[in-house]
A and B are shown apart, each in its own frame.
Chain A
């Protein structure tokens, strides 16, 4: 039943990883990393780890914001 959705999530992870490797601009790398994180979530929810999914959904943007501070510091 959920195989097509899981294949789509795996495709999302692979697309995000390839784009994060191949891009040169740090903002493009961060956008690709967001796609990668978006692909991880259905695998967490499918097994029933809902509390882990809530914690990850609230912690993962913090890491992106910390990396964004580094990007801005380098460019200015």
Chain B
């Protein structure tokens, strides 16, 4: 019961840190923290066996998304 509340608090705190940070590179770890916390919320929200498949799919998708943004930002912002 208390674990899902901890996940919700972590998600909101990390989202606030995403807003507050000015540098784009410092936003990206907190975006990962939001994704992990939402994965925990999804896994703990319903007592159903397919929920773990939803959590795994969301974990893979959000990690892919964050790493795509990070790699594009690291390689695309420099001008030759």
Which residues of A approach B to under 8 Å, CB–CB?
1-2, 4-5, 8-9, 11-12, 15-16, 18-19, 25, 27-28, 30-32, 34-35, 38-39, 41-42, 45-46, 48, 50-51, 53-54, 57-58, 60-61, 64-65, 68, 71-72, 75-76
Q: Interface on chain B toward A: helix, strand, loop, or mixed SS?
A: helix
- Residues of A within 8 Å of B15, CB to CB, are 11-12, 15-16, 35, 39
Q: Which of under 10, 10 to 19, 20 to 34, or 35 or more describes the interface residues of B?
A: 35 or more
- Whether A35 contacts B18 by the Cβ 8 Å rule is yes
| Contact A25 B19, CB 8 Å, known A42-B38, A54-B53, A65-B68 | no
Measured between alpha carbons, how far is A37 from B5 in the docked complex, in Å? 20
- Residues of B within 8 Å of A50, CB to CB, are 46, 48, 50-51, 53-54
| Contact A71 B72, CB 8 Å, known A16-B15, A57-B58 | yes
- Interface positions, chain B 57-74, Cβ under 8 Å from A, are 57-58, 60-62, 64-66, 68-69, 72-73
